[in-house]
């Protein structure tokens, strides 16, 4: 039986999949000699062509060889892994493929009503012009080319860090494999960082696993959790709206996605009663075993209160759920009165009844916060109360991929062990860090303010993280037109926005939303000037769109 993940909200654009793989003779019979060569290919790609790209159509003129090839392929959409087909990842989905294509067209001189594509689809800080932290990059340069350690241009603290990292590497080279769990001295530094952050709650380096970005840690944890068949198949609770890594990973693993809805009216807060409802519903058809939380929220930008975290932990303890806390935006908190509380800290403050029982994995990354170093794919996870035998299995599992990228591990070390007061790089570091975070806070405020002046757009404050997720009211005629085209209405809206203004946002349907509501996610990362232009273009477009379809 097919055990692919199900979603209870967002419509799936792909056609239903065949469960049994075709045999060779099936394929032969399926080939219609009268059909024009390539017709089969065209039919099979229908579900994907909405990305609007010619790359999927065969380039070479159709001929006998094409037909023969198509008939005999070992690996076709019908015979491939059916779970992979169900995977969707909107953040880099059709709208982004189209944006890339438009950029190419602009380069080739095609006339458009805009001169550049502004990509606000993904939290890619450097691509949006954010500058790297000088200290981090100095150390990385020295780790890459240790001869620079003799260079006077670099401050002593940067050299000290580079030497320390290199000493932690095999043969003192970042080109050596590290231990699969990560370089030991980096894991020690991470543990010390976690302790400082959490006001002294102890952290054991043996519980730290360095990862290839947070995504890798999250997928690995989910993979460990998935078991059973049919009604005993593992279910995993995720927020709606969610970051689509979760739905994608669950689809790929054939786990059951259990949706709980955040409360948009109350600033995307999480209600335990909604968790309870979702869990009770899910228990009828699967075995819910894990609860995933993203705090600060992606795409929703809320920052969870301490009380709410306590409630969630109590719920997980009572219902025996493994907690997964995605805390990659832990430094991105902007709103007055909001503060980041780690699940680990709250768990330990709740006393041994909870801190010695609740199983928790929390995730962090080098890609967000003030550093935004996405390209290095650095990250870590900390596991708490994990069964030692399972931990041994986890260690074995990560060893198959040898190790996370060592430059990313080095960068992770710098993030958790930045310049200290008294060190020569301290003031520059603090200045750069503050400048980035205060500018993000300003852009968060600006985004909320401007979007809320547009009739038909309503957005919650961006308390944290890097995104706004406004609700857009779409006219009934636009919804009908979208449906006729087989598109989600907010995909239709975002596609049109892209074609008319060059602005690339991700439709809410890619994250999940309550039926009948429509949203988009935009990052607040473009530089302030550009962000203002972007917001005013969105405003103009929305008004035009409403008029056009009223």
What part of residues 271-300 is at the interface with other proteins (CB under 8 A)? 289-290
* Count of CB atoms situated within 10 Å of the CB of 319: 16
Our CA angle for 58, 62, 66, nearest 5°, is: 80
Do residues 250 and 231 lie in contact, with contact meaning Cβ atoms separated by under 8 Å? no
Q: Smaller CB distance to other proteins: residue 357 or 438?
A: 357
Site for other proteins in 125-144 (CB under 8 A): 125-130, 132, 137-138, 140-142, 144
Residue with tokens 């007061």: 421
Residue with tokens 């997980």: 316
Residue of 212, 242, 417, 447 interacting with other proteins (CB under 8 A): 212
Least distance from other proteins to the Cβ atom of residue 468, Å: 20
Least distance from other proteins to the Cβ atom of residue 112, Å: 21
DSSP secondary structure, 122-137, as one string: S--TGGGTPPPPHHHH
Tell me if 227 contacts other proteins by CB under 8 A: yes
Q: Contacts with other proteins: how many residues (CB under 8 A)?
A: 115
Our CA angle for 455, 457, 459, nearest 5°, is: 130
Residue with tokens 């335990």: 272
Question: Burial of 324 by CB count in 10 Å (0-12 exposed, 13-18 middle, 19+ buried)?
Answer: buried
Residue of 374, 384, 457, 466 interacting with other proteins (CB under 8 A): 374
Site for other proteins in 150-179 (CB under 8 A): 151, 153, 169-171, 173-179
Tell me if 306 contacts other proteins by CB under 8 A: no
DSSP secondary structure, 78-110, as one string: TTS-HHHHH---GGGSHHHHHHHHHHHHHHTT-
Residue of 99, 210, 249, 474 interacting with other proteins (CB under 8 A): 249
Tell me if 29 contacts other proteins by CB under 8 A: no
Question: Burial of 427 by CB count in 10 Å (0-12 exposed, 13-18 middle, 19+ buried)?
Answer: exposed
Our CA angle for 452, 453, 456, nearest 5°, is: 70
Q: Smaller CB distance to other proteins: residue 151 or 339?
A: 151
Question: Burial of 18 by CB count in 10 Å (0-12 exposed, 13-18 middle, 19+ buried)?
Answer: middle
Tell me if 385 contacts other proteins by CB under 8 A: yes
Tell me if 498 contacts other proteins by CB under 8 A: no
Least distance from other proteins to the Cβ atom of residue 273, Å: 22
| Phi, psi values for residue 389, rounded to 5° | -70, -35
Pick the piece of the chain touching other proteins (CB under 8 A) from 294-302, 342-350, 395-403, 466-474.
395-403
Tell me if 338 contacts other proteins by CB under 8 A: no
Least distance from other proteins to the Cβ atom of residue 57, Å: 8
Pick the piece of the chain touching other proteins (CB under 8 A) from 18-26, 420-428, 463-471, 514-522.
18-26
Residue of 111, 152, 284, 400 interacting with other proteins (CB under 8 A): 400
Residue of 226, 381, 414, 504 interacting with other proteins (CB under 8 A): 226
Residue of 25, 33, 61, 74 interacting with other proteins (CB under 8 A): 74
């Amino acid at each position: 039986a097919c055990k692919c993940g199900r979603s209870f909200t967002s419509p799936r654009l792909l056609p239903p999949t065949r469960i049994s793989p075709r045999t060779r003779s099936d394929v032969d019979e399926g080939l219609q000699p009268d059909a024009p060569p390539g017709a089969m290919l065209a039919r099979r790609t229908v579900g994907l062509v909405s990305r609007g790209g010619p790359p999927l159509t065969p380039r070479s003129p159709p001929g006998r060889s094409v037909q023969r090839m198509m008939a005999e392929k070992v690996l076709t959409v019908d015979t491939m892994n059916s779970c992979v087909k169900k995977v969707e990842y909107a953040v880099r989905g059709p709208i982004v493929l189209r944006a890339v294509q438009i950029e190419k067209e602009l380069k080739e001189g095609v006339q458009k009503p805009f001169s550049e594509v502004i990509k606000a689809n993904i939290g890619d800080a450097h691509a949006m012009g954010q500058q790297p932290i000088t200290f981090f990059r100095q150390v990385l340069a020295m780790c890459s080319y240790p001869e620079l350690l003799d260079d006077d241009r670099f401050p002593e603290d940067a050299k000290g860090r580079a030497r320390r990292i290199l000493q932690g590497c095999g043969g003192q080279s970042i080109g050596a494999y590290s231990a699969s769990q990560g370089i030991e001295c980096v894991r020690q530094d991470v543990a010390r960082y976690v302790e400082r952050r959490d006001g002294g709650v102890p952290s054991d380096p043996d519980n730290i696993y360095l990862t290839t970005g947070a995504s890798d840690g999250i997928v690995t944890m989910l993979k460990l959790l998935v078991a059973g068949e049919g009604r005993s198949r593992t279910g995993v609770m995720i927020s709606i709206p969610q970051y689509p890594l979760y739905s994608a990973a669950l689809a790929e693993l054939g786990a059951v996605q259990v949706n709980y809805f955040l409360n948009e009216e109350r600033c995307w807060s999480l209600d335990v009663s909604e968790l309870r409802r979702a869990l009770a519903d899910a228990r009828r058809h699967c075995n819910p075993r894990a609860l995933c939380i993203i705090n600060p929220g992606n795409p929703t930008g809320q920052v969870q209160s301490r009380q709410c975290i306590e409630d969630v932990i109590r719920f997980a303890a009572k219902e025996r759920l493994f907690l997964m806390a995605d805390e990659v935006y832990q430094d991105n908190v902007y709103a007055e009165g909001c503060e980041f509380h780690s699940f680990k800290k709250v768990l330990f403050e709740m006393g041994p009844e909870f801190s010695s029982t609740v199983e928790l994995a929390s995730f962090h990354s080098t890609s967000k916060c003030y550093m935004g170093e996405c390209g290095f794919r650095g990250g870590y996870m900390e596991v708490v109360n994990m069964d030692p035998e399972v931990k041994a299995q986890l260690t074995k599992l990560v060893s198959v991929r040898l190790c996370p990228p060592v430059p990313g591990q080095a960068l992770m070390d710098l993030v958790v062990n930045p310049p200290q007061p008294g060190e020569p790089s301290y003031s520059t570091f603090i200045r750069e860090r503050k400048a980035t975070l205060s500018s993000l806070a300003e852009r968060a405020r600006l985004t909320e303010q401007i979007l809320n002046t547009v009739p038909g757009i309503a957005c919650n404050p961006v308390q944290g993280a890097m995104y706004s997720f406004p609700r857009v009211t779409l006219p009934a005629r636009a919804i009908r037109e979208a449906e006729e085209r087989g598109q989600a209405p907010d995909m239709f809206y975002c596609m049109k926005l892209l074609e008319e203004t060059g602005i690339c946002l991700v439709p809410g349907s890619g994250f999940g939303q309550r039926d009948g509501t429509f949203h988009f996610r935009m990052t607040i990362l473009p530089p302030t000037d550009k962000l203002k232009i972007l917001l005013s273009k969105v405003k103009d477009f929305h008004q035009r769109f409403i008029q056009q379809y009223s």
